[in-house]
Amino acid sequence: MREKDIRYLEKFYQKNKKGRLEALIQSGFLDEEKAAAFNDDLALAPEIADSMIENQLATYQLPFGLALNFLVDDVAYVVPMAVEEPSVLAAASSAAKLFAAHGGFQTAVTPRTMIGQVILTEIPDCQKAIAVLEDEEIEIIQTANQAHPSIVKRGGGADAIGVRHIEADVASGSPEFLILHLYIETLEAMGANIINTMMEAIIPLVEELSGGKALMGILSNYATECLATATCRIPADALAKGNWSGEEVRDRIILASQAATVDPYRAVTHNKGIMNGIDAVVLATGNDWRAIEAGAHAYAARSGQYRSLSKWTKGDNGDLVGELTLPLPIGTVGGSISFHPGAKMAHELMGHPDAETLESIIVSAGLAQNFSAMRALVTEGIQRGHMGLHSRSLAISAGAIGEEIAIVSEQLKQVKNMNLATAQEILEKHRNSRTL
C-alpha cells in the first residue's frame, strides 16, 4: 500500500505572513524562489488587467489563503482558496485534519469529456434527420476536429456525437428541437474556446444534413461526462463535540443529509456550503466558477427535484461515511491560468496537479466544507465559530485600523449582540481612552 503523505501545518493561523511562507517552504509545499512572488502580493499588472476585460478601471481584490492538512488519495495538499467569507478556510482545514487522521479523502473521476451543442429548429422530418446525422457521425467529427487541429495533435478532440429530440411543448409554446451533442476530449483545458470553435464550425454541415436551421452552436456547462467524486469515512468516536457523543453527532449529520435530500429549501443552503469550498478553489486556480456553479446546481436537480449534492450515511462498522459527486469541468491550462499571478501560485502550491487531480482536490474541499458546516449546525450551531472572524470584519467596517482591529474584535466577542453599531461604540471608547 502506498504510504500516506501526511504533512500537518500546525498553528499556521497564529504566524504572520513571513512565518506562514517559511512553514510552507519547510514542509515542501513551496520553494523559496517561487515564494518571492508573494512580495508583490500576487498583484495583477495593470496592463494585463486592462487587456483581460473591456472598460477596465481597477483590479478587485479578494483574500487568498490556504485550507490546510488535506490528504487526497494519500497525497498531502495545501488547498488555495480565494474567498471573501470568514470561516471557510478554517472550516475546511479542521475537517481535512480530522479526516487525514482516518485515511483522508478517496476520489474517482470520469474521463474528462466535454459536451458541445448545436440546437436545430424547423427540421422537416426529425426521425429522418436523426438517422442522417447518426450516419454521418464521422464526417461531423472530422469537420469539428479540422476546426481545432492543435487539440487533436495533443491527443484530444471530438470523438462522438449524440442526437436528442425534444418534442414541442404546448404549455410553453416551444416548438420541437433537434439537439446535436458533440463529445470532445479537451485534455488539460476546460475547453470553452475549443468547443465553441468546433460547434460553430459544424453548423453548416449539420444544417445541410438535417435540413433544419441552427439556432446556435455552444458548449454545455452541464458537464455530465466530467464528474468528480470524493468519499471519506470516520469512526463515530472521533465526532464527539461538546456535550454531544460521537454517535449522536454522526446520527444528526445523517439526518441533516436526509433533510437536504428531501427538502429543496434546505438542499440549496446545504449545497451553498459545499460550493463555499469548491468555488474558492475554482476561483483561486483561475477557473470559471460560474460554469461550475451552473453545472453543480443542474446536477443537484437531475432527479427532477433539487437535492443535496452530498450524502452522509452510516457504514457497516458504524463509521460516518460521506460522498460528494458533481460535474467539475476545470482546466489547468488556458484562460488566465498562465498569466494571473494568483492562479499561477495556486497551481504551484498544489505541485501543478493535472486536471484530473485538480478535480479530486476540489471535490474533496467541497466535501470537507460540507462536513464542517453540518457538524457545527447539528451541534453548537454555526454562529459561535462564525462570530469570531465576523468580529474582525465588523471592527474593520467600524473603521478600526492596525492594532485597533484585534482590540475591538476581542471586546466585541464579549458582548451579547455583536453588530456594527456596537463595534463603532467600542472603537470610539477605545480611541477616547487613548486621548485622555
| Active-site amino acid positions | 85, 272, 288, 386
Residue selected from 35, 382, 389, 407 as contacting ligand MEV according to rule CB under 6 A: 382
Query: Closest approach of Cβ 61 to ligand MEV, in Å?
Result: 20
Asked whether 101 and 238 are in contact (CB, 8 A), the reply is yes
Taking CB under 6 A as the binding criterion, the range among 95-103, 268-276, 315-323, 414-422 that sits at the site for ligand MEV is 268-276
Query: Closest approach of Cβ 389 to ligand MEV, in Å?
Result: 12
Chain centroid to CA 84? 14
Taking CB under 6 A as the binding criterion, the range among 156-164, 265-273, 323-331, 420-428 that sits at the site for ligand MEV is 265-273
Query: Closest approach of Cβ 371 to ligand MEV, in Å?
Result: 10
- Our finding on whether 383 is near ligand MEV (CB under 6 A) is no
Q: Which of 161, 108, 110, 102 is nearest to 360 (CA)?
A: 108
CB neighbour burial string for 114-145, b if at least 16 within 10 angstroms, e if fewer:
bbbbbbbeebeebeebbebbeebbeebbbbbb
- Our finding on whether 269 is near ligand MEV (CB under 6 A) is yes
- Our finding on whether 411 is near ligand MEV (CB under 6 A) is no
Distance CA 229, CA 110 (A): 9
Nearer to ligand MEV, 261 or 276 (CB): 276
Query: Closest approach of Cβ 284 to ligand MEV, in Å?
Result: 17
Distance CA 183, CA 273 (A): 31
Taking CB under 6 A as the binding criterion, the range among 106-114, 210-218, 272-280, 405-413 that sits at the site for ligand MEV is 272-280
Taking CB under 6 A as the binding criterion, the range among 11-19, 216-224, 229-237, 267-275 that sits at the site for ligand MEV is 267-275
Distance CA 387, CA 282 (A): 26
Number of residues that bind ligand MEV (CB under 6 A): 9
C-alpha cell at 167: 418534442
Distance CA 148, CA 165 (A): 27
Query: Closest approach of Cβ 280 to ligand MEV, in Å?
Result: 11
Measured at the CA of 304, the angle between CA 315 and CA 378, to 5 degrees, comes to 40
- Our finding on whether 373 is near ligand MEV (CB under 6 A) is yes
Residue with the CB atom nearest ligand MEV in the bound state: 273
- Our finding on whether 272 is near ligand MEV (CB under 6 A) is yes
Task: Map residues 63-92 to x or -, x wherever contact with ligand MEV holds by CB under 6 A.
Answer: ----------------------x-------
Distance CA 311, CA 307 (A): 10
Q: Which of 163, 186, 191, 182 is nearest to 111 (CA)?
A: 186
- Our finding on whether 384 is near ligand MEV (CB under 6 A) is no
Nearer to ligand MEV, 270 or 392 (CB): 270
Distance CA 65, CA 80 (A): 6
Nearer to ligand MEV, 122 or 263 (CB): 263
Beta strands in 83-136 (DSSP E): 106-109, 113-121
- Determine the straight-line distance between the first and last CA of the chain, rounded to whole angstroms: 67
Q: In Å, how far are 82, 235, 279, 349, 357 from 99, measured between CA atoms?
A: 23, 10, 21, 21, 19
Nearer to ligand MEV, 229 or 276 (CB): 276
- Our finding on whether 322 is near ligand MEV (CB under 6 A) is no
- Our finding on whether 276 is near ligand MEV (CB under 6 A) is yes
Beta strands in 130-220 (DSSP E): 157-166, 177-185, 213-219
Asked whether 371 and 95 are in contact (CB, 8 A), the reply is yes
Nearer to ligand MEV, 187 or 362 (CB): 362
Query: Closest approach of Cβ 262 to ligand MEV, in Å?
Result: 15
Asked whether 340 and 255 are in contact (CB, 8 A), the reply is no
Nearer to ligand MEV, 273 or 341 (CB): 273
For residue 398, which phi and psi values (nearest 5 degrees)?
Answer: -75, -10
Nearer to ligand MEV, 157 or 273 (CB): 273
Nearer to ligand MEV, 260 or 358 (CB): 260
Nearer to ligand MEV, 65 or 353 (CB): 65
C-alpha cell at 284: 483561486
Taking CB under 6 A as the binding criterion, the range among 45-53, 269-277, 286-294, 353-361 that sits at the site for ligand MEV is 269-277
- DSSP H/E element including 219: strand 213-219
Residue selected from 104, 156, 273, 342 as contacting ligand MEV according to rule CB under 6 A: 273
Query: Closest approach of Cβ 373 to ligand MEV, in Å?
Result: 4
Q: Which of 268, 263, 270 is nearest to 297 (CA)?
A: 268
Task: Name the residues that contact ligand MEV, by CB under 6 A.
Answer: 85, 269-270, 272-273, 276, 373, 377, 382
